[in-house]
Amino acid sequence: MAANDTEDRRTRQKVFQSVLDEGPITASSLAKALELTPAAIRRHLDALESEGLIEVRELAGKQAGRGRPARHYVVTTAGHDSVSHSYDELAVNILRFMEDRHGKSAVEDFTEDLVARLRDRLGAELDKRGGTTVASRSRALAAALTREGYAASATPVAAGTPLEAMQLCQGHCPIQAVAAEFPEVCEAELAMFSDYLGVDVRRLSSLAQGDHVCTTHIPTSELTRPLIHSNDRPQGGSR
């Protein structure tokens, strides 16, 4: 019995991780990816939903037959909190102290340095694997961020049109609680993305603001992407 319980917990964790990485995602897609029966995937999804770790989103334009919107699963705020670092509260308190004692500029300097250090950690890999196009560099950035715990993916949108772009999605944020109170973290992160990709990027949704994923729009069409020339880029990562 104990062995069965352990295996059940492992499978449920795989389901949760898949929703975290791939959400919004349907039950049928999860069952196929994890090689589970419809009954098994439903049991695990129901359990995760009852625990408040995932929830259903009905996405406009995605039908499940007979005109009904398809049911897609995403991780809830509580679900994200369950995998967040235990030092979130400490980090928030430190930044509050810095802001009280030294002003907003001290927080901005700290967050810019924090993101610059992330860029430095990723630097060699990004420069080696990124390639020369915005699309290939977007995919390399997503892969590197995933290894840092951001559950990231890069997907082309509007391909073959003047509005073609990449969408960088981050299904998890290791410092979500910090970013929720100090948006300077997100601003510094976007500056780092722009610096690396060489184009202006735009945040469409944010975990810190209650969305189920952080989505960044990255223009790739020559007609729509304003380039950041090398002599215009900030020095030292995101600064």
* Concatenated DSSP letters of 83-105: HS-TTHHHHHHHHHHHHHHH-HH
If one counts every other C-beta atom within 10 angstroms of the C-beta of residue 206, the result is 19
The pLDDT of residue 48:
92
- Please tell me the predicted confidence (pLDDT) of residue 59: 65
Q: Which domains does the chain have, with CATH numbers?
A: 2-83 (1.10.10.10), 88-232 (3.30.1380)
Q: Are 160 and 221 in contact (CB under 8 A)?
A: no
Kind and range of the H or E run holding 203: strand 202-205
Distance of CA 71 to the CA centre of its chain: 21
Q: What are phi and psi of 8, to 5 degrees?
A: -65, -40
Identify the pLDDT of residue 40.
92
Amino acid at 173: C
Phi and psi at residue 85, to the nearest 5°: -65, 145
Q: Rounded to an integer, what distance in angstroms lies between the CA atom of residue 201 and that of residue 218? A: 5
Q: Which residues are CB-neighbours of 99 under 8 A, at least 6 positions away? A: 106, 107
As given in the structure block, the two tokens for residue 81 are 């909190």
pLDDT, averaged in runs of 10, over the chain (239 residues): 71 88 87 92 92 81 58 84 67 89 91 86 80 90 88 89 91 86 91 92 92 92 55 43
pLDDT at 68: 63
Predicted confidence at residue 235, as pLDDT, reads 44
